[in-house]
Amino acid sequence: MNDKFTEELVAQCGMNCGVCMAYLREKNKCPGCRSTCANKAVSVLRCKITNCEVIQKRGAKYCFECEKPCSRLKQLDKRYRTKYNMSMIENLEFIRDNGVDKFLRWQSTKYRCPKCGGIICTHNGKCYSCQHIENLKV
C-alpha cells in the first residue's frame, strides 16, 4: 500500500490527509492533521475539530466516538459533499463499522490514478505524479 494511505494520516474528522491538496503539494507541504511537526498548515492549527477539547479530554481518536456529530463537523461535511463529493461523516461511519484498515484499502482504490498509479487529490481530481485529471464525482 502507498505510504500516503496510513492510519496516521486519517484525521479525527474522517479526512484522509493522504489525498488532501495541502499534503500532496510540493511547496509548504502539510504533514497531516495528526502530525506533531511544527510545519502544519494554518488551517490545521486553527481547526476546531483537530483541536477539539472533547476529543482530547476523552482520548478519542475519531469524531464518531462522540454521541453525535458537532455543528463544526456537520458544516465541514456539507462543504465537502457539495464541493468535493466526499463526506467526512460517511468516512467516519465506514471506519467505525469496518475499521481503519479496510477504510485505507478503499481509499487506496478510490484515489488511485488509472494512468500511473499515483494519488488523485480529493480537492481538484489531479494526480500529483502524472498531472492526469480524474473526475471523482462517482
Q: What is the pLDDT of residues 6-59, one digit of tens each?
A: 999 999 999 999 999 999 999 888 899 988 887 777 888 888 888 888 888 888
CA dihedral defined by 20, 23, 26, 30, rounded to 10 degrees? 140
Q: Which amino acid is at 13?
A: C
Residue 138 has pLDDT above 50, yes or no: no
pLDDT for 55-74, tens place per residue?
A: 888 888 999 998 888 999 99
Residue 96 sits at φ, ψ, to 5 deg, of -60, -45
CA 39, 44, 47: angle at the middle one, nearest 5? 150
Average pLDDT over residues 92-109: 96
Q: Which amino acid is at 138?
A: V
